[in-house]
Amino acid sequence: MSTPVLILVNKPAVGIDVPVSTQPEFERRDPGEPQLSVLDLGTTRGDGVFETVMVSEGRAPALAAHLDRFRASALLLDLPEPDREVWGRAVEAAIAAAEAEAEVETDTAGLGVLAVKLVLTRGIEGSGRPTGWVLAQLARDFTAVRREGVRVVTLDRGYRHDVGRTSPWLLQGAKTLSYAINTAALREAARRGADEVVFTSSDGFVLEAPTASVLLREGNRFSTPSAEVGILPGTTQRRAFEFLRSRGHDADAVRLRASDLHRADAVWLVSAVRQAVPVTELDGRALEVDHALTTDLNAYLSARQAS
C-alpha cells in the first residue's frame, strides 16, 4: 500500500446518529482529497483526541487498551463518548482495506507494520456533531532506531506532578490534538544535539516522552512513572511489563525523581509503533544498552496475540 487508507466515521460517538439514514456508520474516502472543514474545532482549537495503534500481520494486539484510553481522553475533554463498537469495526475495515491493497500491489499476502490512527474532534463549530476518522498507514521502518537507540535530553514540562488532580482543565493525561508543545520540545532536543525528550515536572518528577512512555532499569528492577503524575497510561509500557514479569523481573509504576533517571542502568522509550527504543545518552551521559533484552522485548511487543 503506497497511499494511506482513510475511513471517515459517520457515527463516532454514542448518542450521535449518522447524518442521513441512508449513510453507513463509516465509509472509505480518498486521503489525497481534502476531507476536513476549516471550521472544524479539531483544527481551529486542537480540540479533539487521538490514538495510534500498531497493527502487525493484520492484528492489533493492544486495540482494546487503546480504545479504553481513547474513551478516557474523550471524557477528560467532555467530548461525547466514542462508540466503541463502531470504532472497532472501522479499525478492522481499515486493516482489511490496507491488506487488500498490499496484495494487489505486491502480489503477496505479506504486509508491513501499520500505524492506525483514530481521531475524534469536537466537530464543526456550532454543529454539535463530532468528527471522526481512522487512517491506516504503513509504519516507518524503526528497525535501525531500535538497534541504535536515541540520545535524550530532559526538559521541564512546566507543571507540578499533581496538576492532573488539582487542575483537571490542563488536560494532563489526555491524548489531545493540542500537541504543539510536544513537537516544539523535539525541535529543542535537536538544537541540543539529541533525538528525543523526557519531560520532567517542575517539582522534579520524571513524566514521559512527547509520544512515548519511559522505562527504567536499576539492577534487576524495572520501573515507569505512575500515571498519577499527569501522564498517559502507556498501552505499550503495560505490555512491556507483562514481558518483563514473564522473565522474572520486578516491574512497577512508581514516582520517579529526575535523580532516579540519571542513576538508572538503562532507559527505554516505549510506544505503540516505534516500540522499545534504548536510550544511548541521557543529558550527555552515555548509557549502557542491553541489545538482547531490547530485541526480545520488541519481538514480544509485535507478537500478534492480544495481551
Note the residues at the interface with a second copy (CB under 8 A): 4, 6, 31, 33-48, 50, 77-78, 117, 119, 121, 133, 135, 155-160, 163, 166-171, 176-185, 187-188, 202
Distance in Å, CB of 40 to a second copy, minimum = 7
CA distance 215 to 268: 5
Distance in Å, CB of 7 to a second copy, minimum = 10
Nearer to a second copy, 95 or 301 (CB): 95
CA distance 48 to 154: 27
Nearer to a second copy, 4 or 278 (CB): 4
Inter-residue contact 150 to 196 (CB < 8 Å): yes
The helix/strand/coil state of 148 is helix
Distance in Å, CB of 198 to a second copy, minimum = 13
Distance in Å, CB of 155 to a second copy, minimum = 6
CA distance 264 to 165: 28
Q: What angle do CA 294, 154, 175 make, to 5 degrees?
A: 75
Distance in Å, CB of 167 to a second copy, minimum = 5
Nearer to a second copy, 167 or 295 (CB): 167
- Give the helix/strand (H/E) hosting 217: strand 213-218
Residues 6 or more apart whose CB falls under 8 angstroms from that of 89 comprise 25, 26
The helix/strand/coil state of 84 is helix
Nearer to a second copy, 37 or 307 (CB): 37
Distance in Å, CB of 292 to a second copy, minimum = 34
Strands 275-282 and 285-286: antiparallel
Nearer to a second copy, 187 or 245 (CB): 187
Nearer to a second copy, 185 or 229 (CB): 185
